[in-house]
Structure 1
Amino acid sequence: MAKTKEIVLGSSTLGIRNTFHSLIAILTTLLVVTTIYLTQDIGGVEYSQETNGTSGDPFSSKCDLFSGKWVFDNESYPLYKEKQCKFMSDQLACEKFGRKDLSYQNWRWKPHQCDLPRFNATTLLEKLRNKRLVFVGDSLIRGQWLSMICLVDSSFSSTLKSMQTISNGSLNIFKVKEYNASIEHYWSPLLVESNSDDPIHHRVLERTVRVKAIEKHARYWDDADFLVFNTYLWWRRPVMNVLWGSFEDPNGVYKRVEMLRVYEMALRTWSEWLEVQINRNKTKLFFVSMSPTHERAEEWGGTNGDNCYKETNMITKEGYWGKGSDPKMMHIVENVIEDLKRRGLNVQILNITQLSEYRKEGHPSIYRKQWEPLTQTQISNPNGYADCIHWCLPGVPDVWNEFLYAYILNP
């Protein structure tokens, strides 16, 4: 009986040990699987582990990439150094032109219910192999284009890179020859033809648009694989001159029309062109929403008459919306794109407006190249020449490109 009891006890002990080791093996396996899942390369994309119990997938049904918060992160941001980017513009190189507080470079965007994928230049270039990514619009989207170039240029050491300018400077082409990949910007601030189409000499008192004419521009980007559009600030005036006919035609008909009406007419022309000309099996389409300005400090509790000059902190009031962004214009864009969707053509809106509203400290202000010598009057009043429209690089436009990167990699 004693032996039997001993055997029974021994057998029981062995069972417990086996169960214990099995549990350890299962837990170890679960830990490994969980770790792989949290850091898995989905199409070459790594996801942040800061999920707060939410799904890391930016394309889950619960995720709104554009609803979130800015998180200070001076370990992984900025994504590149200003001096590392050989193609940096003096208009956006704030550190080069004397800005000392560089904390504007250290903020990343954290969606509430998911995570943005970490930018990987090699992964992007694989997606762009033998393809064209073209940004079309004004100087704000040109800044986004420069941001994308800097993200790639600073991460990719190959010397087989080039920059080419054609069409009188309207089209700038950055090319990575190893991948036969090009990242381009085409200057067309109102999308349709206008008297502001010259990339250098475009400041005119009476802005005039041909709301039914877009082919002059579209022929430069009609075969692109990824098209990213914007148009906003150049429309900010009560009325616009509209031309029926050509600029060379002395019999052309001019008429003053309320701006919102002209804006919609131009976007309808743009949408009709897309519907007819775009290869739906090839080209992905994006529209970047309004880039906000910060030219009235009283709107965020500052001194009346001041602007973004000397600002070093962001706006923390959730839902802040300044007068530099026009909801009526945004609704027009949404309606036009929704109509396109009903006709079977998808244009993804990159809704950067609200998240950029908070970043009053992210503009060049006075820290940029001044293209003309400043007068003593200007020097005595820096608010008067501070740039509160464009964005320092590295900075806010890098996050816009993180959104774009996520959508390009999404099947």
Structure 2
Amino acid sequence: MRFVGPTGDLKKTPLYLLYFTLLYFTRRGRGRAKERRREMKAPLCLNRLRRRHNISISSYLLTVSFITFATVLYFEFEDFTCLLLLRRPLTAARHLRLSNNINNETEKMHLPFTIQTTTTTTNNACDIFAGRWVYDESARPFYAEQHCPYIQPQLTCQAHRHPDTAYQHWRWQPHACSLPSFNATLMWEMLRGKRMMYVGDSLNRGQFVSMVCLLHRVLPDNAKSWETFNGDSLTVFTAKEYNASIEFYWAPFLVESNSDNAVIHRITDRIVRAGSINKHAKHWKGVDILVFNTYLWWMTGQKMKILRGSFESEMRDITEMETEDAYRLALGRLVRWLEKNVDPDRTRVFFATMSPSHGRSEDWGGEAGGNCYNQTGPIEDASYWGPSTSKSMMRVLKEVFSASKTVPITVLNITQLSEYRKDAHTQIYKKQWNPLTPEQLANPRSYADCVHWCLPGLQDTWNEVLYAKLFFP
């Protein structure tokens, strides 16, 4: 049997080592006849010594060849290693190891889902939340509004006669790197056999719907389902062939409140039961990826009302508390629940920061009396931070989460990149739940929604950064 050696780039691969291993044992076979003839002529003690020596060398070479082959395979084929790891539960430790292995070799092999550097800055130093918006009609949007039937009518801006699609074509570009390309199939592989749940208010529900729109396209119609439970508090999208689900649970304060009805919750006199989280949290147990948010509902402009006791009790003990203190109380309760009920080796926990609103165009140098209505492009001032986003609340968030001892909480800092997008709100191009008055029709600014976002649009970018953090913690 004759082997032809590898040529070209194959010499740089483990096949080259395999070739020499096979060649060695083939030549060993050819020489066995000569060895036997010599053994017949040699003394018995010398024959035994030779056999023992040959067996020792053969075993040693075989072991060294196998170890070398496996080592080179691991370091030269990180993408193969990555796909194998995705079949196992992705703990934080494995995420970090995988990230380091891939990022250290990006100059040699640019995988479609790696974070690519654009400067001499190392990947580990790249802040994907610091960057700028780039208009890119060739790469955005990821999907067409009419091709995602799961978008609620209050977010379907094109169906409600938005005059242009420019807001869909902006791509987030970090300063020192590029976000990994969103790969729906790879994401489903990560989610195989798992549950992913968004928990929070309508803004988090928008991000949930965005993720469904990004992922449902690769699934056959008969392999997916959309269901609601518990009075619409829980919405579940299921991918049957992956035995995976993406879910949304309505809990605008995360803790129990008088706004917990997923349909009827427009209550001006908001009351939270800050110490009680189990009513909601029982639905989060066993989830593999949790994405929380809570902010907008706290910003009433007044002190928060805190209930001591039960909503069912006839005698209610209600006290008032500064918003930051009430926020700290609720987030602290969330952290304690996570530390008691979540296994960090199984579950990844994320928290999306404040989603800004754009209710006064004077804040970014626009005309007096204006808001997000008729805005057609992002704010260009890189230092812009609007008054709708409380820095004191952001400090509370950082303070509470940094105190978590056992469960890592990855903060998705979507605030600054969203501050620039005054053009991406639904404005007046949405379903109106109440008939508009003649006065409103005469002044569209008066009823423009400058809180929620059109889909496709900005919230797809929120999921891009979530995707990046899932694969590269």
Q: Same fold (TM over 0.5)?
A: yes
1:290 counterpart = 2:354:
yes
Query: In the TM superposition, what whole-angstrom CA distance separates every residue of 1:85-137 from its partner, at most 9, and x where no partner exists?
Result: 02111111111110121111111111111221111111000000110110000
Which residue in 2 is equivalent to 1:228? 291
1:139 counterpart = 2:205:
no
Query: In the TM superposition, what whole-angstrom CA distance separates every residue of 1:217-266 from its partner, at most 9, and x where no partner exists?
Result: 00111210000000000000221111010001123311122211111111
Which residue in 2 is equivalent to 1:40? 111
Which residue in 2 is equivalent to 1:335? 399
What displacement does 1:155 show?
3.9
Which residue in 1 is equivalent to 2:164? 101
TM-score of the superposition, structure 2-length normalised? Answer: 0.76
Aligned length: 372
SS in 2 for 1:266: helix
Which residue in 2 is equivalent to 1:152? 215
1:208 counterpart = 2:274:
no
For the residues of structure 1 that align with 2:251 and 2:168, how far apart are their CA atoms? 29
For the residues of structure 2 that align with 1:52 and 1:128, how far apart are their CA atoms? 30
SS in 2 for 1:360: coil
What displacement does 1:318 show?
0.9
Q: Against the structure 1 CA distance between its residues 155 and 305, is the aligned structure 2 distance closer, same or farther, given a 3 Å change threshold?
A: farther
SS in 1 for 2:355: coil
SS in 2 for 1:364: strand
TM-score of the superposition, structure 1-length normalised? Answer: 0.87
Which residue in 2 is equivalent to 1:163? 226
Listed as ranges, the matches of 1:19-34 within 5 Å are none
Query: In the TM superposition, what whole-angstrom CA distance separates every residue of 1:359-406 from its partner, at most 9, and x where no partner exists?
Result: 000001000111111111110111111010011111110011011111
For the residues of structure 2 that align with 1:54 and 1:109, how far apart are their CA atoms? 20
SS in 1 for 2:426: coil
For the residues of structure 2 that align with 1:283 and 1:200, how far apart are their CA atoms? 29
Letter in 2 for 1:379: L
For the residues of structure 1 that align with 2:356 and 2:268, how far apart are their CA atoms? 23
Listed as ranges, the matches of 1:228-267 within 5 Å are 228-237=291-300, 238-267=302-331
Which residue in 1 is equivalent to 2:423? 361
Which residue in 1 is equivalent to 2:450? 388
Letter in 2 for 1:199: A
Tell me, yes or no, if the aligned pair for 2:115 and 2:468 is still in contact at 8 Å.
no
For the residues of structure 2 that align with 1:239 and 1:35, how far apart are their CA atoms? 51
Structure 1: gaps of 5 or more residues: 1-21, 27-33
Q: Against the structure 1 CA distance between its residues 304 and 271, is the aligned structure 2 distance closer, same or farther, given a 3 Å change threshold?
A: same
For the residues of structure 1 that align with 2:218 and 2:161, how far apart are their CA atoms? 25
SS in 2 for 1:389: strand
For the residues of structure 1 that align with 2:388 and 2:218, how far apart are their CA atoms? 34
For the residues of structure 2 that align with 1:393 and 1:409, how far apart are their CA atoms? 24
SS in 2 for 1:332: helix
1:374 counterpart = 2:374:
no
Tell me, yes or no, if the aligned pair for 1:241 and 1:257 is still in contact at 8 Å.
yes
For the residues of structure 2 that align with 1:179 and 1:131, how far apart are their CA atoms? 9
1:348 counterpart = 2:414:
no
Tell me, yes or no, if the aligned pair for 1:140 and 1:390 is still in contact at 8 Å.
yes
SS in 1 for 2:125: coil
What displacement does 1:39 show?
3.0
Bigger Rg, structure 1 or 2: 2
For the residues of structure 2 that align with 1:37 and 1:141, how far apart are their CA atoms? 38
For the residues of structure 1 that align with 2:109 and 2:163, how far apart are their CA atoms? 37
Letter in 2 for 1:112: H
For the residues of structure 2 that align with 1:154 and 1:315, how far apart are their CA atoms? 32
Q: From the two aligned structures, give the one with the greater helix fraction.
A: 2
For the residues of structure 1 that align with 2:110 and 2:285, how far apart are their CA atoms? 37
Which residue in 2 is equivalent to 1:119? 182
For the residues of structure 2 that align with 1:264 and 1:107, how far apart are their CA atoms? 35
Identical aligned residues as a percent? 46
SS in 1 for 2:459: helix
For the residues of structure 2 that align with 1:135 and 1:93, how far apart are their CA atoms? 20
